[in-house]
């Protein structure tokens, strides 16, 4: 498998264009299964998870066409299978998102139980129980979710915990259900909001978008007319490059992004000493050559501080002035990057779900190994300031969520290259 070799010491500067959001693209591509007509989706990032999703849809018989701008046209009228096989689902947990659309439109789905990043338990009980309450007949056997249904029935769903993919699956299913569905304790992440806007553009009737109570008036058909939809920019990619600039004392401008969905991250960067200016679709960060100050963060569902930015801030705190306390409340196993950062000289003490990070004067290059998507980003960030070379192994994790990361960092002045196995 490929590796990244990074030579630390360069101060990042320049401009970058942010890619579309992976976590919006995946549910929206699943939602195209609900459409009667071909749907075009734009601002799609070039990622391994997107390729996997396209392969999954293609295995079902769906017709996909990609143009030179990475616009994907999806025509689900050719579908001939309702199976999401283990060999695809095991590599990407988001594959579970085809369950709701398949049951809602075609009355049948056979979806393997999901895999994906090893960052903790993420059960699919909420997805299954919600669909059962809407009238689906579901069994779980031999590692597969088997679902059958006539037309789903609208109902009141109170989610026992906030779940992004659970909210998305039930939202898609409810769009074609008979009657009204109310989803309470719904996830409010911008990617959920983007999915709701996409469904409404196809003809769904969803209100309460952006709140924790979604009201869906079911319709008989979606996508009677062909549409095009551009997904929102990736807030996590945005935050990752801002941290990369901050840790090196650099100055960058990120274009085609959304500062309005990054409040919690931007506030912490200001606290770390960054000079932040924003426009409608751009963010500029300038550290004026200074070392960042340590910041403490506590992860929680949106609009609080995102769990997907925890590892990156942990890396920044490793060389920051002072002590930062990182508390992870979303996933119970999301500190696997700490052992690798310690190999580079980081002073981090782990106590249950809290990491106490004392900034050190320098990190040193070392061979390190990615364990999940955001952990791999934290290792790349740390390598940017480490003395000497850092070799980051198992970077297939980073390719799942970052569009050509080595090319983008090179544009900003980093010394980084990809080497084949």
Active site residues: 117
DSSP E strand stretches across 194-310: 205-207, 213-217, 227-230, 251-255, 275-278, 282-286, 297-298
Q: Compute CA distances 312 → 6, 27, 216, 308, 316, whole Å.
A: 16, 25, 36, 8, 6
Residue of 142, 162, 154, 103 whose CA lies nearest to 303: 162
Do the bridges between strand 213-217 and strand 180-184 make them parallel or antiparallel, or are there none, so unpaired?
Answer: antiparallel
Secondary structure (3-state) at 284:
strand
Distances in Å between the alpha carbon of 111 and those of 66, 77, 93, 333? 25, 20, 11, 25
Distance CA(418)–CA(237), nearest Å, equals 19
CB 221 within 8 A of CB 246: no
The residue behind tokens 């309470």 is 184
Task: State in Å, rounded, how far the first CA of the chain is from the last one.
Answer: 5
**With contact defined as beta carbons under 8 Å apart, do 131 and 60 qualify?**
no
Residues 130, 61 contacting (CB under 8 angstroms): no
Q: How many CB atoms lie within 10 A of CB 345?
A: 18
Query: Rounded to 5 degrees, what are φ and ψ at 257?
Result: -130, -175
Task: Judge if the upstream peptide bond of residue 104 is cis by omega within 30 degrees of 0.
Answer: no
Distance CA 101, CA 171 (A): 9
Contact in structure between 9 and 385 (CB atoms under 8 Å): yes
DSSP bridge pairs for 156: 182
Cα 179 from Cα 173, distance rounded (Å): 12
Angle (nearest 5°) at CA 300 between 299 and 303: 115
Sign of CA dihedral 73, 77, 81, 82: positive
Strands (E) in 354-412, as ranges, are 354-358, 367-369, 389-393
């Amino acid at each position: 498998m490929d590796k990244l070799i990074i030579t630390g010491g360069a101060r990042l500067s320049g401009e970058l264009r942010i890619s579309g959001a992976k976590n919006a693209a995946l549910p929206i591509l699943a939602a195209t299964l609900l459409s009667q007509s071909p749907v075009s989706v734009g601002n799609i990032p070039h990622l391994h998870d997107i390729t996997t999703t396209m392969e999954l849809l293609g295995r079902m018989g769906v017709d996909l066409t990609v143009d030179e701008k990475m616009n994907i046209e999806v025509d689900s009228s050719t579908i001939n299978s309702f199976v999401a096989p283990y060999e695809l689902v095991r590599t990407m947990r988001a594959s579970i998102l085809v369950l709701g659309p398949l049951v809602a439109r075609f009355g049948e789905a056979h979806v393997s139980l999901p895999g994906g990043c090893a960052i903790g338990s993420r059960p699919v009980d909420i997805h299954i129980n919600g669909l059962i309450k809407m009238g689906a007949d579901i069994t779980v056997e031999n590692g597969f979710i088997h679902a059958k249904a006539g037309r789903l029935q609208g109902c009141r769903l109170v989610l026992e915990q906030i779940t992004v993919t659970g909210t998305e699956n039930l939202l898609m299913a409810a769009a074609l259900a008979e009657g009204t569905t109310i989803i309470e304790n719904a996830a409010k992440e911008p990617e959920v909001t983007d999915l709701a806007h996409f469904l409404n553009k196809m003809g769904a009737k969803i209100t309460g978008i952006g709140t924790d109570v979604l009201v869906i008036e079911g319709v008989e058909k979606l996508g009677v007319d062909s549409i095009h939809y551009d997904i929102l920019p990736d807030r996590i990619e945005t935050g990752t490059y801002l941290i990369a600039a901050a840790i090196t004392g650099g100055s960058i401008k990120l274009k085609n992004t959304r500062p309005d969905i990054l409040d919690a991250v931007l506030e912490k960067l200001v606290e770390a000493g960054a000079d932040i200016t924003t426009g409608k679709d751009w963010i500029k960060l300038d550290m004026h050559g200074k070392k960042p100050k340590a910041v403490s963060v506590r992860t929680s569902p949106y609009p609080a501080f995102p769990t997907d930015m925890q590892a990156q801030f942990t890396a920044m705190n490793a060389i920051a002035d002072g002590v930062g306390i990182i508390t992870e409340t979303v996933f119970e196993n999301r500190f696997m990057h700490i052992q690798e950062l310690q190999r580079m000289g980081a002073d981090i003490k782990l106590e249950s779900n809290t990491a106490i990070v004392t900034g050190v004067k320098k990190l040193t290059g070392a061979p390190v190994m990615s364990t999940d998507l955001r952990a791999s980003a934290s290792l790349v960030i740390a390598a940017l300031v480490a003395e000497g070379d850092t070799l980051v192994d198992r970077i297939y994790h980073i390719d799942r969520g970052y569009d050509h990361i080595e090319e983008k960092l090179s544009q900003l002045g980093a010394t980084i290259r990809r080497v084949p196995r």
